[in-house]
A and B are shown apart, each in its own frame.
Chain A
């Protein structure tokens, strides 16, 4: 149980275009979903926290107009990178949790974004 999927696993887009990444909890309802960014050989950097039905809370330094997060249902959150640039190339990982249940996050497999 507690499986989180991400789609796509890899995406290449041209500079200036937008790309959407989906994060789904397959067998549980996720009260909260998190979006992380990971550069090569580095740790995970939390970008934002989203609770179903409410606006995402962004970490300091993360542009909310560039990284649009939607958490419209208890099983789906999306991250849209708008007007992508090469510096947005990174590994994006989502996670999901059920509040009050051991405070554990279940991680998706990640999405490799390359902006050319």
Chain B
């Protein structure tokens, strides 16, 4: 079984400040890792994903994440946030053995960017 822990349920930051949203996972097998963003009353949009290769992954909207296998982490970062980044962010893992790309989600982190 696999699980995902997002260590912060809410992260308030000021505009143009850097931000890190933390994600740790637990799995007995290799996984794919994802970060999704959800704006109010909308579905999920993929920010970035780690499948293999370079552990530093760059995504849309200036976000990046680093896969750390030894620490089983996949933290999301952005060097300078905008008001429009205010949203809910979900970390997710997919077990490589599972057919049909089943995802396990973390509980989410609400990022609020204040002026």
Contacts and interface: CB of A to CB of B under 8 A. Distances in A.
Classify the secondary structure of A's interface with B: strand
Contacts of B42: 109-110
Contacts of B107: 42-43
A32 B34 CA distance: 18
B56 interface: no
Interface in B25-56: 32, 34, 36, 41-46, 49, 51
A104 B41 contact: no
A104 B100 contact: no
B100 A44 contact: no
Nearest to A111: B43
Interface of A: 4, 6, 31-32, 34, 41-44, 46, 49, 51, 91, 93, 95, 97, 99, 102-110, 112
Interface of B: 32, 34, 36, 41-46, 49, 51, 90, 94, 96, 99-103, 105-108, 110
